[in-house]
Amino acid sequence: MFEACERDGFCLTGERLLLRNFVASDELSVHAFASNREVTRYTDWGPNSAEDTRVFLRGVLAQARSAERSEFNLAVVEWWGPPRCG
């Protein structure tokens, strides 16, 4: 889950959510929602084929590596934060 954070230091965290760059290992999770007809019902994309999902991930991974990044497609991960004391 923290692979992207450790690699490029780009993460936004709250009490329950972590926003981070996508990583290649997100493919199955992305495809699970992106291929769902009900999830994509009101979007201008999808439902995705497996190849559509791979193309999307290749694009966002390339964009994240770009020195002149102009798009921020981020993965939203349920996260309960580090343990708290007190």
- Under DSSP, the state recorded for 49 is P
The pLDDT tens digits for 48-66 are 999 999 999 999 999 999 9
Calpha distance 1→14 (Å, rounded):
15
For tokens 């999770």, name the residue. 29
Residue 86 within a domain: no
The pLDDT tens digits for 23-40 are 999 999 999 999 999 999
Domain that holds residue 68: 3-78
CA nearest to 7, candidates 61, 55, 53? 61
Burial of 75 (0-12, 13-18, 19+ CB in 10 A): middle
Residue 31 within a domain: yes
* pTM exceeds 0.85, yes or no: no
Q: How confident is the model at residue 86 (pLDDT cuts 50, 70, 90)?
A: very low
| Domain at 42, CATH number | 3.40.630.30
